[in-house]
Amino acid sequence: MSQYRTFTATDAVEYARQFSGLENPQQLTQALEVGDGNLNLVFKILDQQGKSRVIVKQALPYVRCVGESWPLTLDRARLEAETLIEHYKYSPEHTVHVTHLDASLAVMVMEDLSEYKIWRGELVAGKSYPQAARQLGHYLASVLFSTSDFALHPHEKKAQVARFINTEMCEITEDLFFNDPYIEHPRNDYPPALEPLVASLREDAELRIAVAELKHRFLTHAEALLHGDIHTGSVFVTDSGLKAIDAEFGYYGPMGFDLGTAMGNLLLNYCGVPGLLAPREAAEARDQRLAEIITLWQTFSDEFLTRSEQSTRDVALAVPGYAQKFLQKVWCDAIGFCGTELIRRTVGMSHVADISNIADDMMRTDCLRHAITLGRTLILAAGHISDAESLVARIRQVA
């Protein structure tokens, strides 16, 4: 059993030489630390020609973006690697390939994805990837169906629920999504001009009950092995491909959480583009984000239904009409969770470049206001929006 130590670049190269699985590991000579997320160290391991060949990722014993004052379990590296390995079984085309894990060092080795770009960065730059929403819908349908009671033997499903208990990472989500934005909390972060709007969230009894209901579902509904943090910064894209990464929040939860997180991040971009792009490009980008939300849901639900018709294992769940009924609930959850993602990324501590990168203070505040108002509308309307077209119509009504 290895003793945990935080890797230097030299350690990462040495480790990659041992565990990359490459035919000629001695070609690996240099490491670049490229982690720009909130939590971990990420090293690109380069060969003698300076080409990145493999990735070494290590969890730190604290939240990287905050520092040692916020300690965090190292077991998240195991949970991340095992979630990705599980998802890779069911969607190898859309999941990063983890090839090695050492849980005691909190280190994993995975395929290099240098030809891919982070979807959020591309969206912020005004670039669209027409295939991405369909591929994300396909990924989510494949992994969520295949890890659920529709597909697994009940003994295996229960063993998986236990294996993927992710107490500390879930607690972060429980606090940041469902608590902080609706109370006065030092982690919250928004401009003073928005105080009246944020205060009105705290005082909105109907909203607070709807958020409580969503949190309760997040706490209790072990429907499938979720990615747990599938925002556009956890998705790599090329013109033809898409891969999910960064699954340290993976656990058994409600399917609508993953769909809602993805939809919420498309809507954060929708809210931010007027501050990032020229008016004509912004209008085009907005139409694209709404079309992507429709495609994401259509692909997910079509693929989920096809799979349920062909391979539902449980005789009761296989009864005609049940999968459709279940998907209605997933849809309703997804809209609600989407609303909570919009609010926690604007009122809470963890903001996104789609809005933070807006240089003009007034414009940025207007975009934040729009996202908060949209989030509240969606949380409250979630049970009354029957399909993706109606959702888009409702989004367009919120100015």
Residue 313 marked in a binding site: no
Beta bridge partners of residue 378, listed in sequence order: none
In whole angstroms, the minimum distance from the beta carbon of 287 to ligand SR1 comes to 27
DSSP code for 2? P
Structure tokens, 398: 């919120």
Binding partner of residue 292 among Mg ion, ligand SR1, none, CB under 5 to 8 Å per kind? Answer: none
Which 20-39 residues touch ligand SR1, going by CB under 6 A?
37-38
- Supply φ then ψ for residue 204, to 5 degrees: -90, 100
CB of 64 to ligand SR1, least distance (A): 9
Burial class of residue 228 (count of CB atoms within 10 Å of its CB; 0-12, 13-18, 19+): buried
Q: Closest-CB residue for ligand SR1?
A: 38
Residue nearest to Mg ion as judged by C-beta position: 246
**How far is C-alpha 94 from the chain's CA centre?**
14
CA distances from 221 to 149, 238, 253, 329 (A): 12, 34, 5, 12
**Contact range with ligand SR1 by CB under 6 A, out of 49-57, 121-129, 170-178, 284-292:** 170-178
Would you say 336 and 382 are in contact if contact means Cβ atoms under 8 Å apart? yes
Nearer to ligand SR1, 37 or 126 (CB): 37
Shortest distance (Å) from residue 37 CB to Mg ion: 5
Q: Rounded to an integer, what distance in angstroms lies between the CA atom of residue 53 and that of residue 39?
A: 23
Q: Is 188 annotated as a binding residue?
A: no
**Would you list the DSSP string of 259-318?**
HHHHHHHHHHHHHHHHHHS-HHHHHHHHHHHHHHHHHHHHHHHHHHHHHHHHH--STTTT
Please check if 344 is assigned to a binding site.
yes
Say which amino acid occupies 343: I
Dig out the tokens for 268 from the structure.
Answer: 């954060």
386 phi, psi to nearest 5 deg: -80, -30
- C-beta closer to ligand SR1: residue 16 or 172: 172
Binding status of residue 294 toward ligand SR1 by CB under 6 A: no
- Sites for Mg ion among residues 25-84 (CB under 5 A): 37
Alpha helices in 54-110 (DSSP H): 75-90
Q: Which two tokens stand for residue 246?
A: 């960064």
- Among 41, 136, 176, 267, which residue interacts with ligand SR1 (rule: CB under 6 A)? 176
Give the shortest CB-248-to-ligand SR1 separation in angstroms: 8
Binding-site size for ligand SR1 (CB under 6 A) equals 8
Of 250-289, which residues contact ligand SR1 (CB under 6 A)?
Answer: none
DSSP alpha helices (H): ranges in 116-249? 119-124, 132-146, 154-163, 167-178, 195-202, 205-220
- Specify the residue, 63 or 305, whose C-beta has the smaller distance to ligand SR1: 63
Segment 245 to 284, residues that bind Mg ion, using CB under 5 A: 246
Q: Which is nearer to ligand SR1, 223 or 248 (CB)?
A: 248
Q: Is 205 exposed, middle or buried (0-12, 13-18, 19+ CB in 10 A)?
A: exposed
Is 112 annotated for ligand binding?
Answer: yes
204 is in an annotated binding site: no
Site string for ligand SR1, 217-236 (x = CB under 6 A): ------------x-------
Distance CA 22, CA 12 (A): 15
Question: Which of positions 118-147 make contact with ligand SR1 (CB under 6 A)?
Answer: none
Q: Is 265 annotated as a binding residue?
A: no
Report how far residue 129's alpha carbon sits from residue 239's, in angstroms, rounded to the nearest whole number: 6
Q: Is 175 known as a binding-site position?
A: no
Through-space distance between the first and last CA atoms of the chain, rounded to whole angstroms: 57
Q: Around Cβ 240, how many Cβ atoms within 10 Å? A: 8
Is the CB of 38 or the CB of 238 nearer to ligand SR1? 38
Per CB under 6 A, contacts with ligand SR1 among 296-355 are: 350
Widest Cα–Cα separation across the chain? 62
Choosing from 9, 22, 63, 194, the residue that interacts with ligand SR1 (CB under 6 A) is: 63
Picked from Mg ion, ligand SR1, none, the partner binding residue 350 (CB below 5 to 8 A depending on kind) is ligand SR1
Residue 68 burial (CB < 10 Å; 0-12/13-18/19+)? exposed
Q: Which stretch binds ligand SR1 (CB under 6 A): 81-89, 94-102, 168-176, 310-318?
A: 168-176
Summarize the annotated binding site for ATP as residue ranges: 40, 57, 111-113, 246-248
Which positions touch ligand SR1 (CB under 6 A)? Answer: 37-38, 63, 172-173, 176, 229, 350
Which positions touch Mg ion (CB under 5 A)? Answer: 37, 246
Summarize the annotated binding site for substrate as residue ranges: 229, 344
Summarize the annotated binding site as residue ranges: 40, 57, 111-113, 229, 246-248, 344
